[in-house]
Chains A and B, each alone.
Chain A
Amino acid sequence: MKRLRRDRLKIYMDILLIIRSESRKEKIILTRIQQKSNVPFDRLKTYLSELKDLGFIQDEASPKLTEKGFQYVTEFEKVLDFMKRMGLTY
Protein backbone atom coordinates (compact mmCIF):
# COMPACT_ATOMS: atom_id res chain seq x y z
CA MET A 1 0.00 0.00 0.00
CA LYS A 2 2.83 2.37 0.88
CA ARG A 3 4.64 1.56 -2.35
CA LEU A 4 1.54 2.55 -4.27
CA ARG A 5 1.46 5.88 -2.47
CA ARG A 6 5.13 6.48 -3.19
CA ASP A 7 4.80 5.69 -6.86
CA ARG A 8 1.78 7.94 -7.11
CA LEU A 9 3.74 10.78 -5.49
CA LYS A 10 6.42 10.43 -8.13
CA ILE A 11 3.83 10.48 -10.92
CA TYR A 12 2.20 13.55 -9.38
CA MET A 13 5.57 15.30 -9.34
CA ASP A 14 6.32 14.34 -12.95
CA ILE A 15 2.95 15.71 -14.06
CA LEU A 16 3.34 18.93 -12.06
CA LEU A 17 6.86 19.47 -13.46
CA ILE A 18 5.61 18.94 -17.01
CA ILE A 19 2.75 21.37 -16.43
CA ARG A 20 5.20 23.93 -15.09
CA SER A 21 7.54 23.51 -18.07
CA GLU A 22 4.60 23.88 -20.43
CA SER A 23 3.12 26.82 -18.60
CA ARG A 24 4.62 29.40 -20.97
CA LYS A 25 2.44 28.08 -23.74
CA GLU A 26 -0.96 29.60 -24.21
CA LYS A 27 -2.80 26.31 -24.03
CA ILE A 28 -1.46 23.14 -22.46
CA ILE A 29 -2.47 20.06 -24.40
CA LEU A 30 -3.25 16.96 -22.38
CA THR A 31 -1.77 14.67 -25.02
CA ARG A 32 1.60 16.34 -24.56
CA ILE A 33 1.45 15.80 -20.78
CA GLN A 34 0.40 12.20 -21.37
CA GLN A 35 3.33 11.58 -23.73
CA LYS A 36 5.90 13.22 -21.46
CA SER A 37 4.66 11.60 -18.25
CA ASN A 38 4.20 8.22 -19.91
CA VAL A 39 0.85 7.65 -18.22
CA PRO A 40 -2.25 6.18 -19.95
CA PHE A 41 -4.74 8.86 -20.86
CA ASP A 42 -7.56 7.61 -18.60
CA ARG A 43 -5.24 7.49 -15.60
CA LEU A 44 -3.84 10.90 -16.44
CA LYS A 45 -7.34 12.33 -16.22
CA THR A 46 -7.77 10.68 -12.81
CA TYR A 47 -4.44 12.12 -11.59
CA LEU A 48 -5.31 15.57 -12.90
CA SER A 49 -8.63 15.40 -11.12
CA GLU A 50 -6.87 14.44 -7.88
CA LEU A 51 -4.30 17.19 -8.32
CA LYS A 52 -7.13 19.65 -8.82
CA ASP A 53 -8.81 18.41 -5.64
CA LEU A 54 -5.53 18.93 -3.81
CA GLY A 55 -5.44 22.50 -5.07
CA PHE A 56 -2.22 22.09 -7.08
CA ILE A 57 -3.72 22.79 -10.51
CA GLN A 58 -6.74 24.44 -11.99
CA ASP A 59 -8.69 23.66 -15.12
CA GLU A 60 -8.23 19.96 -15.86
CA ALA A 61 -8.78 20.45 -19.59
CA SER A 62 -5.81 22.82 -19.90
CA PRO A 63 -4.11 22.52 -16.52
CA LYS A 64 -2.00 25.26 -14.98
CA LEU A 65 -0.27 25.36 -11.62
CA THR A 66 -1.87 27.26 -8.79
CA GLU A 67 0.18 29.20 -6.25
CA LYS A 68 0.03 26.17 -3.96
CA GLY A 69 1.10 23.84 -6.77
CA PHE A 70 4.01 26.05 -7.73
CA GLN A 71 5.18 26.29 -4.12
CA TYR A 72 4.95 22.52 -3.73
CA VAL A 73 6.97 21.85 -6.90
CA THR A 74 9.59 24.41 -5.91
CA GLU A 75 9.91 22.94 -2.41
CA PHE A 76 10.09 19.41 -3.77
CA GLU A 77 12.86 20.39 -6.19
CA LYS A 78 14.82 21.96 -3.34
CA VAL A 79 14.53 18.77 -1.29
CA LEU A 80 15.53 16.62 -4.28
CA ASP A 81 18.56 18.85 -4.78
CA PHE A 82 19.37 18.55 -1.07
CA MET A 83 19.14 14.74 -1.27
CA LYS A 84 21.39 14.76 -4.32
CA ARG A 85 23.93 16.92 -2.50
CA MET A 86 23.78 14.56 0.50
CA GLY A 87 24.43 11.59 -1.79
CA LEU A 88 20.99 10.04 -1.31
CA THR A 89 19.04 8.49 -4.16
CA TYR A 90 15.30 8.90 -4.72
Chain B
Amino acid sequence: MNNLGLIIIEILSAALALILVRFMIKPYRMTGENRYLGLPLGFAFLAVSYILMGASLSFVDPSFVEKLKWLQLFTGAYAFVFLAVTYYSSAKTHEQREHLLMQAFLSLMFLVLLFLFIVLFAPPVLALPSYKEADEYFRLSNMILSIYITRYTLRSHALKPEPKTILAPLGYALLAFSQYSFLIWSLDSSFSAFVGAHLIRVVSMLVFLLVSYRAIIAPQNVAHEIVV
Protein backbone atom coordinates (compact mmCIF):
# COMPACT_ATOMS: atom_id res chain seq x y z
CA MET B 1 0.00 0.00 0.00
CA ASN B 2 1.51 3.30 -1.03
CA ASN B 3 1.48 6.56 0.89
CA LEU B 4 -1.56 7.89 -0.93
CA GLY B 5 -3.62 4.89 0.10
CA LEU B 6 -2.52 5.29 3.72
CA ILE B 7 -3.24 9.02 3.69
CA ILE B 8 -6.75 8.32 2.38
CA ILE B 9 -7.35 5.79 5.16
CA GLU B 10 -6.07 8.27 7.77
CA ILE B 11 -8.35 11.00 6.39
CA LEU B 12 -11.29 8.57 6.33
CA SER B 13 -10.59 7.51 9.93
CA ALA B 14 -10.29 11.14 11.03
CA ALA B 15 -13.53 12.06 9.26
CA LEU B 16 -15.38 9.16 10.91
CA ALA B 17 -13.95 10.07 14.33
CA LEU B 18 -15.03 13.70 13.87
CA ILE B 19 -18.54 12.62 12.88
CA LEU B 20 -18.61 10.47 16.02
CA VAL B 21 -17.65 13.48 18.15
CA ARG B 22 -20.96 15.09 17.16
CA PHE B 23 -22.83 12.10 18.61
CA MET B 24 -20.54 11.51 21.58
CA ILE B 25 -21.07 15.05 22.86
CA LYS B 26 -24.84 14.51 23.21
CA PRO B 27 -24.72 12.82 26.65
CA TYR B 28 -22.79 15.82 28.00
CA ARG B 29 -25.06 18.37 26.34
CA MET B 30 -28.21 16.66 27.55
CA THR B 31 -27.19 15.86 31.13
CA GLY B 32 -24.71 18.68 31.74
CA GLU B 33 -22.41 16.25 33.55
CA ASN B 34 -18.72 16.91 32.99
CA ARG B 35 -17.76 13.25 33.23
CA TYR B 36 -19.37 12.59 29.84
CA LEU B 37 -17.17 15.20 28.16
CA GLY B 38 -14.36 12.64 28.13
CA LEU B 39 -16.17 10.68 25.43
CA PRO B 40 -16.20 13.37 22.70
CA LEU B 41 -12.75 14.55 23.78
CA GLY B 42 -11.41 11.01 23.42
CA PHE B 43 -12.75 10.68 19.89
CA ALA B 44 -11.59 14.20 19.04
CA PHE B 45 -8.06 13.30 20.13
CA LEU B 46 -8.31 10.12 18.05
CA ALA B 47 -9.28 12.25 15.03
CA VAL B 48 -6.34 14.60 15.67
CA SER B 49 -3.94 11.66 15.92
CA TYR B 50 -5.17 10.28 12.56
CA ILE B 51 -4.82 13.72 10.96
CA LEU B 52 -1.28 14.01 12.32
CA MET B 53 -0.41 10.55 11.02
CA GLY B 54 -1.82 11.47 7.61
CA ALA B 55 0.15 14.72 7.67
CA SER B 56 3.36 12.88 8.62
CA LEU B 57 2.91 10.72 5.51
CA SER B 58 2.40 13.80 3.34
CA PHE B 59 5.61 15.67 4.19
CA VAL B 60 9.18 14.90 3.20
CA ASP B 61 11.32 16.79 5.75
CA PRO B 62 12.45 13.98 8.15
CA SER B 63 12.79 16.17 11.26
CA PHE B 64 9.30 17.65 10.77
CA VAL B 65 7.85 14.20 10.09
CA GLU B 66 9.47 12.92 13.29
CA LYS B 67 7.87 15.74 15.28
CA LEU B 68 4.46 15.02 13.77
CA LYS B 69 4.81 11.33 14.60
CA TRP B 70 5.72 12.06 18.21
CA LEU B 71 2.73 14.38 18.47
CA GLN B 72 0.54 11.68 16.94
CA LEU B 73 1.84 9.20 19.49
CA PHE B 74 0.87 11.42 22.41
CA THR B 75 -2.53 12.53 21.04
CA GLY B 76 -3.45 8.92 20.24
CA ALA B 77 -2.43 7.72 23.68
CA TYR B 78 -4.20 10.65 25.34
CA ALA B 79 -7.40 9.68 23.49
CA PHE B 80 -7.31 6.12 24.82
CA VAL B 81 -6.49 7.24 28.37
CA PHE B 82 -9.29 9.81 28.26
CA LEU B 83 -11.81 7.21 27.07
CA ALA B 84 -10.68 4.73 29.72
CA VAL B 85 -10.89 7.34 32.49
CA THR B 86 -14.39 8.32 31.28
CA TYR B 87 -15.59 4.73 31.60
CA TYR B 88 -13.79 4.36 34.91
CA SER B 89 -15.57 7.49 36.20
CA SER B 90 -18.87 6.24 34.84
CA ALA B 91 -18.65 3.23 37.15
CA LYS B 92 -18.31 5.38 40.25
CA THR B 93 -21.07 6.47 42.59
CA HIS B 94 -22.18 10.12 42.78
CA GLU B 95 -19.75 10.91 45.59
CA GLN B 96 -16.76 9.37 43.85
CA ARG B 97 -17.24 10.79 40.37
CA GLU B 98 -14.29 12.79 39.17
CA HIS B 99 -14.74 16.03 37.36
CA LEU B 100 -13.40 16.74 33.92
CA LEU B 101 -10.27 18.44 35.21
CA MET B 102 -9.50 15.42 37.35
CA GLN B 103 -10.06 13.15 34.34
CA ALA B 104 -7.69 15.25 32.23
CA PHE B 105 -5.15 15.31 35.06
CA LEU B 106 -5.32 11.53 35.56
CA SER B 107 -4.93 10.99 31.81
CA LEU B 108 -1.94 13.29 31.65
CA MET B 109 -0.35 11.67 34.69
CA PHE B 110 -0.75 8.26 33.08
CA LEU B 111 1.05 9.45 29.95
CA VAL B 112 3.83 11.12 31.94
CA LEU B 113 4.33 7.95 33.98
CA LEU B 114 4.39 5.84 30.83
CA PHE B 115 6.98 8.12 29.25
CA LEU B 116 9.07 8.14 32.45
CA PHE B 117 8.89 4.36 32.56
CA ILE B 118 10.29 4.14 29.03
CA VAL B 119 13.06 6.63 29.83
CA LEU B 120 13.98 5.03 33.16
CA PHE B 121 13.68 1.33 32.43
CA ALA B 122 13.79 0.70 28.70
CA PRO B 123 17.36 0.37 27.41
CA PRO B 124 19.30 2.59 26.92
CA VAL B 125 18.42 3.60 30.46
CA LEU B 126 17.99 7.32 31.24
CA ALA B 127 17.88 8.34 27.60
CA LEU B 128 15.09 9.58 25.36
CA PRO B 129 13.69 6.54 23.55
CA SER B 130 13.67 6.20 19.78
CA TYR B 131 10.31 6.85 18.15
CA LYS B 132 9.95 3.18 17.18
CA GLU B 133 10.57 2.00 20.73
CA ALA B 134 8.22 4.57 22.24
CA ASP B 135 5.62 3.66 19.60
CA GLU B 136 5.68 0.03 20.76
CA TYR B 137 5.16 0.98 24.41
CA PHE B 138 2.40 3.43 23.56
CA ARG B 139 0.64 0.89 21.31
CA LEU B 140 0.82 -1.64 24.13
CA SER B 141 -0.63 0.91 26.53
CA ASN B 142 -3.40 1.82 24.05
CA MET B 143 -4.20 -1.86 23.62
CA ILE B 144 -4.44 -2.44 27.39
CA LEU B 145 -6.71 0.59 27.81
CA SER B 146 -8.96 -0.53 24.93
CA ILE B 147 -9.19 -3.97 26.50
CA TYR B 148 -10.19 -2.34 29.79
CA ILE B 149 -13.01 -0.42 28.05
CA THR B 150 -14.05 -3.56 26.13
CA ARG B 151 -14.22 -5.48 29.39
CA TYR B 152 -16.18 -2.67 31.04
CA THR B 153 -18.75 -2.39 28.24
CA LEU B 154 -18.97 -6.17 27.91
CA ARG B 155 -19.70 -6.39 31.63
CA SER B 156 -22.47 -3.79 31.25
CA HIS B 157 -23.88 -5.92 28.43
CA ALA B 158 -23.62 -9.13 30.47
CA LEU B 159 -25.45 -7.57 33.42
CA LYS B 160 -28.44 -6.65 31.24
CA PRO B 161 -28.05 -8.60 27.99
CA GLU B 162 -29.66 -6.89 25.04
CA PRO B 163 -28.68 -7.27 21.39
CA LYS B 164 -28.26 -3.50 21.01
CA THR B 165 -25.59 -3.23 23.75
CA ILE B 166 -23.15 -5.70 22.17
CA LEU B 167 -21.94 -3.35 19.42
CA ALA B 168 -19.99 -0.94 21.67
CA PRO B 169 -17.80 -3.71 23.19
CA LEU B 170 -17.30 -5.01 19.66
CA GLY B 171 -16.16 -1.55 18.52
CA TYR B 172 -13.71 -1.20 21.40
CA ALA B 173 -12.47 -4.78 20.90
CA LEU B 174 -11.76 -3.92 17.25
CA LEU B 175 -9.87 -0.79 18.38
CA ALA B 176 -7.82 -2.99 20.72
CA PHE B 177 -7.18 -5.50 17.93
CA SER B 178 -6.14 -2.67 15.65
CA GLN B 179 -3.55 -1.54 18.22
CA TYR B 180 -2.38 -5.16 18.52
CA SER B 181 -1.93 -5.36 14.75
CA PHE B 182 0.04 -2.09 14.78
CA LEU B 183 2.22 -3.57 17.53
CA ILE B 184 2.84 -6.73 15.48
CA TRP B 185 3.70 -4.57 12.46
CA SER B 186 6.08 -2.52 14.59
CA LEU B 187 7.82 -5.69 15.81
CA ASP B 188 8.09 -7.73 12.61
CA SER B 189 7.18 -5.27 9.81
CA SER B 190 4.41 -7.59 8.66
CA PHE B 191 2.60 -5.95 5.75
CA SER B 192 -0.66 -7.79 6.41
CA ALA B 193 -0.64 -6.64 10.05
CA PHE B 194 -0.11 -3.07 8.90
CA VAL B 195 -2.95 -3.09 6.38
CA GLY B 196 -5.14 -5.08 8.77
CA ALA B 197 -4.58 -2.56 11.57
CA HIS B 198 -5.77 0.31 9.36
CA LEU B 199 -8.79 -1.59 8.05
CA ILE B 200 -9.83 -2.86 11.49
CA ARG B 201 -9.63 0.69 12.80
CA VAL B 202 -11.96 1.94 10.06
CA VAL B 203 -14.37 -0.94 10.79
CA SER B 204 -14.36 -0.07 14.52
CA MET B 205 -15.24 3.55 13.68
CA LEU B 206 -18.06 2.29 11.45
CA VAL B 207 -19.35 0.13 14.31
CA PHE B 208 -19.51 3.20 16.58
CA LEU B 209 -21.22 5.11 13.80
CA LEU B 210 -23.80 2.33 13.54
CA VAL B 211 -24.39 2.51 17.31
CA SER B 212 -24.87 6.29 17.08
CA TYR B 213 -27.11 6.03 14.04
CA ARG B 214 -29.37 3.40 15.60
CA ALA B 215 -29.72 5.33 18.87
CA ILE B 216 -29.96 8.93 17.70
CA ILE B 217 -31.12 9.04 14.09
CA ALA B 218 -32.99 5.81 13.34
CA PRO B 219 -35.70 5.95 16.04
CA GLN B 220 -38.99 6.87 14.45
CA ASN B 221 -40.99 9.67 15.94
CA VAL B 222 -43.70 8.07 18.00
CA ALA B 223 -47.18 9.43 17.85
CA HIS B 224 -47.82 11.88 20.60
CA GLU B 225 -50.51 14.10 21.85
CA ILE B 226 -49.61 17.74 21.71
CA VAL B 227 -51.58 20.08 23.77
CA VAL B 228 -51.62 23.54 22.30
Listed in ascending order, the chain A residues whose CB lies under 8 Å from chain B are: 3, 5-6, 9, 20, 23-24, 58-59, 64-67, 70, 74-76, 78-79, 81-90
Instruction: Tell whether, in the assembled complex, residue A79 and residue B33 are in contact, meaning their CB atoms are under 8 Å apart.
Output: no
Please state if A66 and B32 are interface contacts (CB–CB under 8 Å). Answer: no
Kindly name the residue among B27, B32, B219 whose own CB sees the greatest number of chain A CB atoms within 10 A: B27
B215 touches A78 (CB 8 A): yes
Interface residues of B in 26-57 (CB under 8 A from A): 26-27, 30-33, 36, 39
Set B168, B222, B224: member contacting A87, Cβ < 8 A: B168
Assembly CA distance A90 to B212 (angstroms): 17
Which chain A residues lie closer than 8 Å to B23 at the CB level?
A: 82
Q: With the chains together, A5 CA to B34 CA distance in Å?
A: 12
Residues of B that sit less than 8 Å from A by CB: 23, 26-27, 30-33, 36, 39, 86-87, 90-91, 94, 149, 152-153, 156-157, 164-165, 167-169, 211-212, 214-216, 219, 221-222, 224-228
Roughly how many angstroms separate A24 CA and B224 CA in the complex, as a whole number?
9
Known: A70-B224, A88-B90. 10 other contacts (CB 8 A): A58-B227, A65-B224, A65-B225, A82-B215, A85-B165, A86-B168, A87-B169, A88-B27, A88-B39, A90-B31
- How many Å from the CB of B226 to the closest CB on chain A? 5
Q: Which of B156, B157, B227 has the most CB of A within 10 A?
A: B227
Docked complex Cα distance between A67 and B227 (Å): 7
Residue of A9, A67, A79, A86 near B153 (CB, 8 A) is A86
Write the chain A residue with the least CB distance to B94. Answer: A3
Main secondary structure of the interface of A (DSSP, over half): helix
**What CA separation (Å) do A85 and B169 show in the bound complex?**
9
CA distance A21 to B21 in the complex (A): 32
Quick check: A84 and B87 within 8 Å, CB to CB? no
Cα A85 to Cα B213 with chains together (Å): 11
- The contact of B216 among A66, A82, A90, by CB within 8 Å, is A82
Are the C-beta atoms of B225 and A83 separated by less than 8 Å? no
Q: Assuming the A-B contacts A6-B31, A89-B90, are A81 and B215 also in contact, with contact meaning beta carbons closer than 8 angstroms in the complex?
A: yes
